[in-house]
Amino acid sequence: MPNTPVLKFGVAGVGVMGRNHARVASEMREFDLTTVFDPDSVVAEGVASAYEATPVTTAQAFIDAGLNAAVVATPNRFHAEIGVALLEKGVHVLVEKPIAATVADAQRMIDAAKANDRVLMVGQVERFNPAVETVKRAVADDEIISIQVTRVGPFPPRMGDVGVVIDLAVHDIDIIRHLTGSEIVEVQPQLARTRAEREDTALLQFRLDNGVIAHITTNWVTPYKTRTLQVATKTKFIVADLITRQVTEYFGQQPDGSYSTRMLNSWPAEPLRKELEAFARAIQTGETPAVTGEDGLRNLEVALRCLGEH
């Protein structure tokens, strides 16, 4: 894009995800990473010094830092408070998933973005996984029957106040809505607590408005990490490994039950970089962001229904 000004950029909350955002944004010509906020001064200073940015330890100092665009990667319960304040200051916001802790908070952020004519995008990074994009292309001209997602692994030491539904299943709720272009109308959740204070195992069944059925298996009790997406359509069956990004298509079933198979190309790209590029593009062009505040609100609504909190 000709002569687009570099955006003064900040990251609020530099845990695992926030650090990744800082690393990727610092390498992008669209952004100038100027400010890093974390209430832990050692953490803030460590990340800021790595990228020659200014560390701040209060939300107010971050909001007053004169930014054009920011990532909010704090714990969920602070998303709305910081997000709304930034939007009201005229800052474009990319908020990590889930958009907020409550539907009302999500709506406040959406309203603030509209009122201040700013971009609000939600960080559903799997949407930018090349394997998911490959699956989306492969099923575009076909009728989806069912979707199954498995997202399991060991307990992450960083988890604080949420269980697997908010931390993990929100990714897959978004993938299901993205692949089908339809909304989830029925939820049948089965939840269990094994070792954690919140649910650490969930089996979630959904029916979508267009008749597609979907199933998510997610937990923190599996010793190894698995991330697989399986989509059955009228004519084929597609399996994607979201970690290796290998996508296989089974098609042309024969009378003896055998199938032909082919590997589908999924281009190597860092999903987080693609996400931040999409955020920058929405700011520069005024186009609707790839993952809107409304998308974030729908994903949160479904997750809360699974938890019986909606």
Q: How many helices (H) and strands (E) does the chain have?
A: 10, 14
The model's pLDDT over 54-99, given as tens digits with 9 standing for 90+, comes to 999 999 999 999 999 999 999 999 999 999 999 999 999 999 999 9
pLDDT < 50: residue spans in the chain: 1
Cis amide leading into 98 (omega within 30): yes
Q: Which of 293, 283, 305, 272 is nearest to 99 (CA)?
A: 293
CB atoms within 10 A of CB 32: 19
Average model confidence (pLDDT) for the chain?
Answer: 96
**How confident is the model at residue 27, as a pLDDT?**
97
Read off the pLDDT of residues 120-150 as tens digits, 9 standing for 90 and up: 999 999 999 999 999 999 999 999 999 999 9
Helix axes 16-26, 271-285, angle to 10 degrees: 60
Looking at residue 5, what is its pLDDT? 87
Instruction: Point out which residues pair with 92 in neighbouring strands.
Output: 69
Residue (of 121, 224, 219) closest to 174 by Cα position: 121
| Per-residue confidence (pLDDT) for residue 265, from 0 to 100 | 84
Structural domains for the chain: 7-118 (3.40.50.720), 127-269 (3.30.360.10)
Given this model, what pLDDT does residue 310 score? 66
Residues 6+ apart with CB under 8 A from 72: 12, 13, 78, 79, 82, 83, 86, 93, 94, 95, 96
Per-residue confidence (pLDDT) for residue 14, from 0 to 100: 97
pLDDT at 267: 82
* Angle (nearest 5°) at CA 169 between 166 and 175: 125
Q: State pTM to two decimals.
A: 0.95
For residue 309 the two structure tokens come to 């909190």
CB neighbours of residue 296 within 10 Å? 27
